[in-house]
């Protein structure tokens, strides 16, 4: 048998083949090149262009937190607080880290005023971040913090508080849960009140806890305070009088605005129905509407003094000029209009006192539609007053070229035109201020800097004041507007409501007036929508609201009475001495 030859591995013939010299050099150079490239790349990333890696690293532990700015306060003209932001806290969680024991979960849910099932649902939502409760009181937040629960965190916030509640609600509006203005002054002055939040850079651990405060990037700039023209006492009087009228007449809605004659400042503004801005649960659109600015209505007879003013201003009539209103009805273009009562021959002053439609129309017929339109435009009807208040309406004033004769006639006594209550209140400043109209202001202004646009001459304005005093006195349409100790002037309005293009058996009752007549200080406009307790005339529904507001406001402002005091003897029981008391009585 032939013996087999054994060959060891190191004597393998394949290993005896010589490789080319260049191949080993090439491999060596390739390895050296790769090493140099890696070293260069490392040097570039870590030494020259290191922002990328730093950003990636910081994204895992560094955070920029917003530092909230304190929202500015809102005060009335005397510095009394109307709106202020108070510090609160929000509780949030990282669901992946919030592995709570059943007992801890029940305790947390109780403090958050929710049930354990609701809490579990929030923590099981599969999100990286979830709010458990916003705007918690600090004492409750401290009790939650003391539990030291994993994955449960807090952040500082602010909540808006309104001390006046529903009394000031439509003026101030309210803010969102993020403390941003949503309605009213809060929205109108958002940029001024909000300020600018700051920011700071911190380091957080994997559980979201801040472990190091690195630096402040930008300091927060707190919002500025806003000082309103509102007078808290006058506002409460207006709110109370309106609320009482709403209950007495079972009305659908109502609104009141009080203006300072000297400055055009809005001293009070109230609406009904209203709401509490501190508790906005179950709010409706009707509660939120600021009817003084947003609702328009056909004003009715409160428009008549402007036609009389135009007639006097153009020299067509004098206050003593007579107009025959018999037989109390007239027909224009197939349509018939009339007075509530037959008056016969009346002077211009008596037409305003008795509120004669026929007499007003006969004055209006002496002018072209364009002349009447220009007067209404000068008074501010047909366009918003641009006071910056959200949702301000401009009303309806059609171009004069489209007026038909019957439309010109009805517009003279307040039908076929629509206005807002704030527009009508401002227009009556022309009578109280000797014929000029200033701009209105929601914030406090300097009386010395107020200038108005001329609408009537001072002589005509004074004549109209006398007529309006007659209208608000005995023999006029609004004797219930009388205020003991003060001379008052004003005009009633009673207008049917339009529904579906037709006048319905529903009314808007209004009264606009001013006091004291000798030196006017306040203009008060009242609107009651759909009174349903049996009375609907402005003299019976709106005028008493005016009287109550004016009486209390003039005394609160320290305005001296301008009517004489008349002693009255009260009835006495047999055997008692007579008691005579000096009682202020308007003449």
Q: What is the CATH number of the domain that holds 121?
A: 3.90.1310.10
Looking at residue 584, what is its pLDDT? 37
How many whole angstroms separate alpha carbon 242 and alpha carbon 234?
A: 12
Domain co-membership, 296 together with 214: no
Domain co-membership, 196 together with 265: no
Interval 75-128: pLDDT, tens: 999 999 999 988 888 888 877 777 788 888 888 888 888 887 888 888 876 667
CB 487 within 8 A of CB 518: yes
Q: Has residue 6 been placed in a domain?
A: no
Better-predicted residue by pLDDT, 390 or 252: 252
The count of domains in the chain is 2
Instruction: Using the predicted structure, report yes or no on whether residue 554 has a pLDDT greater than 50.
Output: yes
Domain co-membership, 155 together with 102: yes
Instruction: Using the predicted structure, report yes or no on whether residue 247 has a pLDDT greater than 70.
Output: yes
Instruction: Using the predicted structure, report yes or no on whether residue 582 has a pLDDT greater than 50.
Output: no
Q: What is the mean pLDDT of residues 23-34?
A: 85
Interval 319-358: pLDDT, tens: 999 999 999 999 998 899 999 889 999 999 999 999 999 9
Domain co-membership, 248 together with 218: no
Q: Has residue 39 been placed in a domain?
A: no
No. of H helices and E strands in the chain? 21, 23
Q: What is the mean pLDDT of residues 471-491?
A: 95
CB 412 within 8 A of CB 448: no
Six-digit token pair at 146?
């003391």
Q: What is the mean pLDDT of residues 407-432?
A: 96
Better-predicted residue by pLDDT, 453 or 280: 453
- 301 carries an active-site annotation: yes
CA 2 to chain CA centroid, nearest Å = 117
Better-predicted residue by pLDDT, 465 or 85: 465
Identify the weakest region by mean pLDDT among 229-238, 256-265, 283-292: 283-292
Domain co-membership, 316 together with 363: yes
Q: What is the mean pLDDT of residues 380-391?
A: 90
Instruction: Using the predicted structure, report yes or no on whether residue 34 has a pLDDT greater than 50.
Output: yes
Identify the weakest region by mean pLDDT among 138-152, 287-301, 428-442, 547-561: 138-152
Instruction: Using the predicted structure, report yes or no on whether residue 569 has a pLDDT greater than 50.
Output: no
Model confidence at 366, pLDDT cuts 50, 70, 90, reads: very high
Q: Has residue 79 been placed in a domain?
A: yes
Instruction: Using the predicted structure, report yes or no on whether residue 534 has a pLDDT greater than 70.
Output: yes
How many whole angstroms separate alpha carbon 244 and alpha carbon 106?
A: 48
Q: Has residue 26 been placed in a domain?
A: no
Q: Has residue 436 been placed in a domain?
A: yes
Tokens 């955070």 belong to residue: 63
Domain co-membership, 304 together with 202: no
Q: Has residue 27 been placed in a domain?
A: no
Instruction: Supply the mean pLDDT for the chain.
Output: 86
CATH number of the structural domain spanning residue 405: 3.40.710.10
Q: Has residue 347 been placed in a domain?
A: yes
Q: What is the mean pLDDT of residues 472-501?
A: 92
Domain co-membership, 357 together with 213: no
Instruction: Using the predicted structure, report yes or no on whether residue 63 has a pLDDT greater than 90.
Output: no
Three-state DSSP at 532 gives coil
% of the chain beyond a pLDDT of 70 = 86
Domain that includes residue 101, residue range: 64-227
Beta pairing, strands 322-324 & 253-260: unpaired
CB 234 within 8 A of CB 268: yes
CB 176 within 8 A of CB 32: no
Q: What are phi and psi of 96, to 5 degrees?
A: -65, -30
Model confidence at 456, pLDDT cuts 50, 70, 90, reads: very high
Looking at residue 152, what is its pLDDT? 84
Indicate the pTM of the whole model. Answer: 0.81
Model confidence at 12, pLDDT cuts 50, 70, 90, reads: low
Q: What are phi and psi of 18, to 5 degrees?
A: -85, 130
Q: Which of 301, 420, 441, 586 is labelled catalytic?
A: 301
Dihedral angle sign, alpha carbons of residues 456, 458, 459, 461: positive
Better-predicted residue by pLDDT, 257 or 17: 257
% of the chain beyond a pLDDT of 90 = 57
Domain co-membership, 251 together with 201: no
Domain co-membership, 271 together with 208: no
Interval 135-190: pLDDT, tens: 888 888 888 888 888 878 888 888 899 999 999 999 999 998 888 899 999 999 99
Looking at residue 510, what is its pLDDT? 96
CB 417 within 8 A of CB 397: yes
Looking at residue 571, what is its pLDDT? 47
Domain co-membership, 378 together with 410: yes
How many whole angstroms separate alpha carbon 146 and alpha carbon 153?
A: 11
Three-state DSSP at 580 gives strand
Looking at residue 213, what is its pLDDT? 57
Q: Has residue 18 been placed in a domain?
A: no
Instruction: Using the predicted structure, report yes or no on whether residue 437 has a pLDDT greater than 60.
Output: yes
Domain co-membership, 470 together with 532: yes
Dihedral angle sign, alpha carbons of residues 404, 410, 414, 418: negative
- Burial of 147-165, coded b for 16+ CB within 10 Å and e otherwise, reads eebebbbbeebbbbebebe
Domain co-membership, 163 together with 261: no
């Amino acid at each position: 048998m032939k013996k087999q030859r054994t060959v060891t591995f190191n004597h393998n013939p394949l290993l005896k083949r010589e490789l080319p010299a260049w191949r080993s050099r090439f491999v060596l150079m390739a390895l050296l090149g790769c090493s140099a490239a890696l070293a260069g790349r490392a040097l570039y990333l870590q030494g020259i262009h290191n922002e990328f890696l730093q950003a990636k690293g910081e994204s895992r532990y560094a955070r920029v937190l917003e530092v909230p700015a304190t929202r500015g306060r809102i005060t009335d003209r005397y510095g009394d607080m109307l709106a202020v932001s108070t510090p609160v806290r929000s509780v949030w969680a990282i669901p992946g880290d919030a592995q709570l024991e059943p007992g801890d979960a029940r305790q947390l849910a109780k403090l958050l005023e929710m049930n354990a099932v609701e809490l579990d649902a929030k923590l099981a939502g599969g999100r990286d971040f979830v709010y458990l409760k916003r705007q918690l009181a600090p004492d409750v937040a401290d009790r939650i913090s003391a539990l030291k629960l994993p994955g449960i965190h807090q952040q500082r916030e602010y909540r808006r508080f309104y001390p006046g509640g529903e009394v000031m609600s439509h003026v101030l509006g309210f803010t969102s849960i993020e403390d941003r203005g949503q309605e009213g002054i809060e929205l109108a002055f958002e940029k001024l009140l909000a300020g600018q939040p700051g920011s700071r850079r911190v380091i957080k651990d994997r559980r979201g806890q801040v472990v190091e405060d690195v630096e402040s990037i930008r300091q927060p700039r707190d919002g500025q305070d806003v000082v309103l023209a509102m007078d808290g006492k006058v506002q409460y009087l207006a709110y109370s009088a309106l609320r009482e009228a709403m209950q007495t007449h079972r009305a659908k809605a109502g609104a009141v605005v009080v203006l300072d004659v000297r400055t055009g400042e809005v001293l009070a503004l109230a609406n009904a129905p209203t709401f509490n801005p501190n508790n906005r649960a179950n709010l409706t659109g009707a509660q939120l509407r600021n009817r003084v600015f947003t609702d328009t209505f056909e004003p009715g007879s409160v428009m008549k003094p402007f036609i009389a003013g135009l007639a006097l201003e153009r020299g067509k009539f004098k206050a003593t000029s007579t107009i025959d209103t018999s037989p109390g009805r007239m027909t224009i273009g197939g349509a018939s209009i009339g007075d509530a009562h037959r008056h016969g021959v009346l002077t211009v002053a008596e037409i305003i006192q008795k509120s004669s439609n026929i007499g007003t129309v006969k004055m209006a017929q002496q002018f072209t539609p364009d002349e009447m339109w220009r007067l209404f435009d000068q008074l501010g009807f047909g366009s918003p007053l641009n006071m910056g208040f959200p949702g301000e309406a401009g009303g309806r004033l059609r171009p004069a070229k489209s007026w038909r004769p019957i439309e010109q006639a009805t517009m003279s006594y307040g039908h076929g035109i629509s206005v807002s209550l704030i527009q009508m209140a401002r227009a009556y400043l022309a009578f109280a201020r000797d014929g000029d109209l200033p701009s209105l202001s929601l914030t406090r202004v300097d009386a010395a800097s107020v200038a108005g646009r001329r609408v009537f001459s001072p002589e005509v304005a004074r004549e109209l004041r006398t007529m309006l005093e007659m209208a608000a006195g005995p023999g006029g349409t609004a004797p219930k507007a009388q205020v003991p100790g003060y001379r008052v002037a004003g005009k009633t309005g009673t207008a049917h409501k339009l529904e579906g293009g037709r006048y319905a058996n529903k009314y808007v009752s209004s009264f606009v007036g001013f006091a004291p007549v000798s030196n006017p200080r306040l203009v008060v406009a009242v609107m009651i929508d759909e009174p349903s307790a049996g009375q609907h005339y402005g003299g019976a529904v709106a005028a008493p609201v005016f009287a109550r507001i004016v009486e209390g406001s003039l005394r609160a402002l320290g305005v001296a009475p301008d009517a004489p005091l008349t002693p009255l003897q009260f009835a006495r029981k047999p055997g008692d001495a007579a008691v005579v008391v000096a009682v202020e009585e308007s003449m």
